[in-house]
Structure 1
Amino acid sequence: MYEILLVLYLLISLALIGLVLIQHGKGAGMGASFGAGASNTVFGSAGSGNFLTRTTAILAAVFFVISLVLGAMTNQKLKPAEDWSNLDQAQAEQVAPVAVQDSAAQNTDVPN
């Protein structure tokens, strides 16, 4: 489920970026007076403003909801214990009393 939501999140984010880049800015009306007004006929006589604005708002809301759901799902996952959290205990367990050996006993293999 998490992976499906993550892929959906990615696709919605790319669609949202594309829709924002397609939309006309506030100054786009000035271009219509110079002959660029025919570009709005693709989306009908009302223009692309309502369609693109609504679609962007819906995708933004879905993007926001999915991000909250993914955050809640990630928060509930168990985190692995860090190696550094129990450093004092691990160090105390590893330190064992070292037996002191006689130096003469250590050098038995070495010929004189």
Structure 2
Amino acid sequence: MVRNLFEILAVAYALVALLLVFVILMQRSKQEGLGAAFGSGVTDALFGAQTSSILVKGTAWLATLFFLLAVILSFLSGRLASDHGTIQEKLRHPSTSTASPLLPAKTQKQAK
């Protein structure tokens, strides 16, 4: 169950990271930066005149979600590592195997 949750959150983490990069690149800088590559008023025309305040709020929410997911993923990663145990613990406490050692196979003469 922990492994499935970890995988789902890892995918969500990657998507949030991509969205965060996209939102940051869409923001205007003082020198117009990358925003100028989209045209002088393209973001205003597409998203409205209040684009900068929406992008700032979106950046804050995505950054908060990004760091929250990072903390949760690190916790789950520690849980997964402790569930599997370390190599040193496995060497100290080897599992008692009930399997018998390999015996030589019977030859055809002995079988008859």
Q: TM-score range by the shorter chain?
A: 0.5 to 0.7
Q: CA RMSD in A?
A: 3.0
Q: Is structure 2 residue 89 aligned with structure 1 residue 74? A: no
Aligned residues: 84
**TM-score under structure 2 normalisation?**
0.60
Runs of 5+ unmatched residues, structure 2: 93-112
User: Aligned pair in 2 of structure 1 residues 45, 18: CA closer, same or farther (>3 Å)?
Assistant: closer
Structure 1 residue 76: deviation in Å? Answer: 2.1
Using the alignment, how far apart are the partners of 1:25 and 1:61 within structure 2?
21
The one-character-per-residue Cα deviations of 1:49-97 (angstroms, maximum 9, x if unpaired) are 01111111101100110110111111123344326x859xxxxxxxxxx
Using the alignment, how far apart are the partners of 1:20 and 1:45 within structure 2?
17
SS state at 2:87 partner: coil
**TM-score under structure 1 normalisation?**
0.60
**Among residues 2, 7, 29, which one is paired with 1:3 in the alignment?**
7
Q: Which runs of 4+ in 1 moved over 3 A?
A: none
Runs of 5+ unmatched residues, structure 1: 88-112
Who wins on radius of gyration, i.e. which is larger? 1
Using the alignment, how far apart are the partners of 2:6 and 2:41 within structure 1?
44
Using the alignment, how far apart are the partners of 2:25 and 2:45 within structure 1?
18
Percent identity among equivalent residues? Answer: 29
Q: Which residue of 1 aligns with 2:31?
A: 27
Using the alignment, how far apart are the partners of 2:64 and 2:53 within structure 1?
16
Q: Which residue of 2 aligns with 1:38?
A: 41
Q: Is structure 2 residue 49 aligned with structure 1 residue 15? A: no
